Structure 1
Amino acid sequence: MAKNPEYTDRNFRIRVDFEQPPQVDLPLIGFLFNCKGLLLQWQYVKENFLEFNLENRSEKTMERKLDPEQFRLFIAPASDKKITRVKTMEQLQGFKAYEPILRLNDNHVLDILPIPERLSIFWLKCKCRVSGKVSKWFNFGNGWEDLPVCRARVHICEIDPINYWIQKIPDHIIAKIPDAILNPKFEVPIPIPDPDPFRRLERFPNISGQEEENIFKTQSLQQIRNETLSVLPELGADIKKQLSSGNLNSIREAIVKNYALFHPWFCYWPWWWPHFYRCQELAVVETNAAGRFEKNIYYHCFGDKPDIYIWVEYMIGGVWTTVHKPPKPCNTHWNYVCGTDINIHVSDPRVAGDCCCDCELIGEDVWIRTVGHTSVSHIKQTHQLLAPPGQTVPYDRIGLTDAAAAGDSFITTTIDDYKRPFGGSPVLRMGFAPALPNSNVYYYRWSYRQRANADLTIVGDTYNPLPPKGGEVRKGYEYRYTDSNGDWQWAPESKKLGPFSVGPNDNLYIIPPEEPTMAPFNVPAASHPHWHQQTYNMDTIHFDTTVVDDFENGLYELKLELFDQAGNLLQNIPKANFKTPRHDDARYSENAPNILLENPTTSNADAFRMLIRIDNGQCEGAIYTVNVGGVPASSTCCGFVKYKPEGVEADLELSFKATHPTDFAEFSFGVIKGTCMGGSIANARGMVIDSADGYHLNTMSGVYSKSFMPADLLGVCYEEGFGKAAFAETLHILSTATDGIWRVAQDYHQTAAFALEP
Structure 2
Amino acid sequence: MAKKANAPIKVNVKSVDGVPQKGLQFYLFGSKDELLESVPIKDGKAVLKTAAKTVRGKSRVLIGPSLPKEFKGRQMSPLLIKKMGGYEPSIRVDLKNEINITRLPKIIFPNWDWCLITGALSKSFNIDGEDQVLPVCDARVHICEIDRIRWWWPLIPRPVITDLADKLKEFILKPKVEIPPIPDPGPVIEPIPGRPIFPRNRLEGLASMAGAKDELVELPEFVKKGILSSSTATVHNTIYKNFHLLHPYLCLWPWFWPYFYRCTEIATAYSDCNGNFDFNYLNFTNDKDIYIWVEVNINGEWVTVYRPPIPCYTYWDYDCGTDININITDPRVFPCDCERQLEGELVWFRSIGQHATALHIQQNDASIVPVQGVNLRNVGCTDIHHSNQINPFGSTLYFKLLFGDGLPKTGITHYRWTRTQLKNATLNNVLAATTTVVKGAVNKHYFVITTDTNGHMHFETKSVTLGAEGSGENIGYRIPHWDIYNDPGVPAAHKALTIQWTSPDFWSAAMNSKDLADGLWRFDLELLRRDSAGVFHVVDVPKQVFQVSDYNNSGNSVNAPDNYLNIQAGNARNLEVKVRIDNNHCDADIQDVELGSSLSGRCGFLRYNDLNDPVKISFIASHVNNFATFGFSVVKGNNTEAITPTVNESGYVISSTPLYSLSGGVFSNTFPVSRLVGTCPQAAFAERLRVYALATNGTERLDQYDAADTNAFALSNT
User: TM-score, normalising length from structure 1?
Assistant: 0.50
1:528 aligns with 2:494: no
Structure 2 counterpart SS, 1:712: helix
d(CA) in 2 for partners of 1:742 and 1:706? Answer: 34
Q: Which residue of 1 aligns with 2:347?
A: 366
What amino acid is the match of 1:521? Answer: G
| Unmatched 5+ stretches in structure 1 | 1-143, 157-280, 310-314, 317-334, 347-352, 405-412
2:20 alignment counterpart: none
Distance in 2 of aligned mates of 1:147 and 1:600: 47
**What does residue range 610-689 of structure 1 map to in structure 2 within 5 Å?**
610-629=577-596, 631-633=597-599, 635=601, 637=603, 639-644=604-609, 649-674=612-637, 675-677=640-642, 680-689=645-654
Q: Give the match for residue 147 of structure 2.
A: none
Matching residue's letter, 1:755? A
Query: Given that residues 550 and 556 in structure 2 are in contact (C-alpha distance below 8 angstroms), is that contact kept between their aligned partners in structure 1?
Result: yes
How many Å apart are 1:628 and its aligned residue? 1.3
Contact 2:412 2:539 in 1 (8 A): no
Q: Deviations over 1:335-370 (max 9, x none)?
A: 999767994499xxxxxx98646x332321111121
SS at 1:394 equivalent: strand
Determine the structure 1 residue equivalent to 2:460.
Answer: 491
Contact 1:376 1:580 in 2 (8 A): yes
Give runs of aligned pairs for residues 213-224 of structure 1, distance below 5 A: none
Residues 419 and 523 in structure 2, CA contact (< 8 A), matched pair in contact too: yes
Cα distance in 2, alignment partners of residues 399 and 620 from structure 1: 23
Asked if the contact 1:305/1:337 (under 8 Å) is kept, the reply is: no
CA contact (8 A) 1:594 1:600 kept: no
1:533 is aligned with what amino acid? Answer: S
Corresponding residue to 1:290 among 121, 124, 139: 139
- Return the alpha-carbon distance in structure 1 between the equivalents of residues 573 and 338 of structure 2: 30
SS of residue paired to 2:513: coil
Q: Deviations over 1:429-467 (max 9, x none)?
A: 122111111112211101112112211122132111113
Q: Residues 538-566 of structure 1, C-alpha deviation per residue, up to 9 Å, x if partnerless?
A: 321222212x3xx1211111010001254
Percent of aligned positions with the same letter in both sequences? 29
Change (3 A) 1:717 1:387: farther
Paired AA for residue 710 in structure 1: V
- Contact between 1:643 and 1:652, CA under 8 Å: does it hold in 2? no
The answer to whether 1:595 aligns with 2:563 is: yes
Q: Deviations over 1:486-535 (max 9, x none)?
A: 97643221100111118x9732111111121014335554311100111x
Partner of 2:631: helix, strand, or coil? strand
Contact 2:414-2:477 within 8 A present in 1 as well = yes
Q: Deviations over 1:146-188 (max 9, x none)?
A: 78577x64579xxxxxxxxxxxxxxxxxxxxxxxxxxxxxxxx
Pick closer, same or farther for the CA change 1:636–1:440 going to 2, 3 Å: closer
> Is 2:689–2:710's contact at 8 Å kept on the other side of the alignment?
yes
Give the equivalent residue in structure 2 for 1:31: none
CA shift in 2, pair 1:582/1:307, >3 Å: closer
- Secondary structure of the 1:428 match is strand
Candidates 429, 432, 437, aligned match of 1:465:
437
Supply the AA of the counterpart residue of 2:399: L
- 1:752 corresponds in structure 2 to 711
Choose from 425, 445, 467 the match for 1:454: 425
SS in 2 for 1:558: strand
Which of 689, 704, 714 does residue 731 from structure 1 map onto? Answer: 689
Distance 1:449 1:297, change over 3 A: farther
Q: Which residue in 2 is equivalent to 1:511? A: 479
For 2:701, the aligned partner's letter is: R
- Opposite residue 398 of structure 1, the aligned amino acid is V
Q: Any conservation in 2 of the 1:307–1:336 contact (CA below 8 Å)?
A: no
Secondary structure, counterpart of 1:517 in structure 2: helix
Q: Distance in 2 between matches of 1:368 and 1:147?
A: 29
1-structure distance, mates of 2:589, 2:655: 17
SS at match of 2:578: strand
Distance 1:453 1:626 in 2: 38
Q: Do the aligned partners of 2:683 and 2:714 also contact (CA within 8 Å) in 1?
A: yes
Question: Quick one: which of 477, 482, 495 aligns to 2:446?
Answer: 477
Q: Which amino acid aligns with 2:483?
A: E
Aligned equivalents of 1:738 and 1:679: distance in 2?
A: 36
| Partner Cα distance (1:397, 1:520) in 2 | 43
1:441 to 377, 387, 412: 412
Letter in 1 for 2:482: E
Q: Deviations over 1:243-282 (max 9, x none)?
A: xxxxxxxxxxxxxxxxxxxxxxxxxxxxxxxxxxxxxx99
The aligned residue for residue 220 of structure 2 is none
Q: Within 2, Cα distance between the matches of 1:507 and 1:145?
A: 50
2:77 paired residue number: none
**Cα shift readout 1:721-747 (whole Å, capped 9, x = no counterpart):** xx4333221101011111111111111
Letter in 2 for 1:512: P
Distance 1:287 1:704, change over 3 A: same
Amino acid in the other structure paired with 2:434: T
Match of 1:426 among 370, 386, 397: 397
Q: Quick one: which of 365, 377, 382 aligns to 1:401?
A: 382
Code of the aligned partner of 1:379: I
Which runs of 5 or more residues in structure 2 are unaligned?
1-115, 143-180, 185-204, 214-272, 275-308, 316-322, 328-334
For the residue of structure 2 that corresponds to 1:364, the secondary structure is coil
Alpha-carbon distance between aligned partners in 2 of 1:344 and 1:395, rounded to the nearest angstrom: 43
Distance 1:730 1:441 in 2: 57
- Work out the CA distance in 2 between the residues paired with 1:284 and 1:705: 50
When residues 479 and 296 of structure 1 are mapped into structure 2, their CA distance, relative to the original with a 3 A threshold, is: farther
Indicate if the aligned counterparts of 2:119 and 2:324 stay in contact, CA closer than 8 A. no
Give, in whole Å, the separation in 1 of the partners of 2:336 and 2:626: 34
Are the structure 2 counterparts of residues 661 and 477 from structure 1 closer, same or farther at C-alpha, using a change threshold of 3 Å? same
Give the deviation of 1:660 after TM superposition: 1.6
Contact kept? 1:283, 1:297, Cα under 8 Å? no
How far 1:688 sits from its partner (Å)? 1.4
Aligned to 1:658, what secondary structure does the other structure show?
A: strand
Q: Confirm whether residue 585 of structure 1 aligns to residue 553 of structure 2.
A: yes
Are the aligned partners of 1:500 and 1:507 in contact in 2 as well (CA < 8 Å)? yes
The structure number with the bigger radius of gyration is: 2
Task: Label 1:148 to 1:488 Cα distance change in 2 as closer, same or farther (>3 A).
Answer: closer
Does the C-alpha gap of structure 1 residues 146 and 398 become closer, same or farther in structure 2, counting only changes over 3 Å? farther
Asked whether the 8 Å contact 1:439–1:565 carries over to 2, the reply is no
Contact (CA 8 Å) 1:149, 1:289: kept in 2 or not? Answer: no
Normalization by structure 2: what TM-score?
0.53
1:197-596 aligned at under 5 Å gives the runs 287-290=136-139, 305-306=209-210, 343-344=324-325, 356=338, 359-372=340-353, 373-384=355-366, 386=368, 388-389=370-371, 391-404=372-385, 413-414=386-387, 417-459=388-430, 460-468=432-440, 472-481=441-450, 489-501=458-470, 506-521=474-489, 523=492, 524-534=494-504, 537-546=505-514, 548=515, 551-566=516-531, 568-596=536-564
* Closer, same or farther: CA 543–374 of 1 in aligned 2, 3 Å: same
Relative to structure 1, the CA distance from residue 291 to residue 544 in structure 2 (aligned partners, 3 Å threshold; closer, same or farther) is farther
3-state SS, counterpart of residue 496 of structure 2: helix
Structure 1 residues 366 and 757 mapped into 2: Cα distance closer, same or farther (>3 Å)?
A: same
Answer yes or no: is the 8 Å Cα contact 2:546–2:575 preserved in 1: yes
Q: Does 1:607 align with 2:579?
A: no
Which residue does the alignment assign to 1:8? none
Report the residue type matching 2:565 in the other structure: L
Change in CA separation of 1:747 and 1:651 when aligned onto 2, cut-off 3 Å: same
CA distance in 2, matches of 1:354, 1:485: 24
Q: 1:617 to 1:756 in 2, by over 3 A?
A: same
Deviation at 1:678, TM superposition (A): 7.2
- Indicate the SS of the match to 1:492: strand
CA distance in 1, matches of 2:576, 2:381: 15
Q: In the superposition, relative to structure 1, how do residues 153 and 291 fare at CA in structure 2: closer, same or farther (>3 Å)?
A: farther
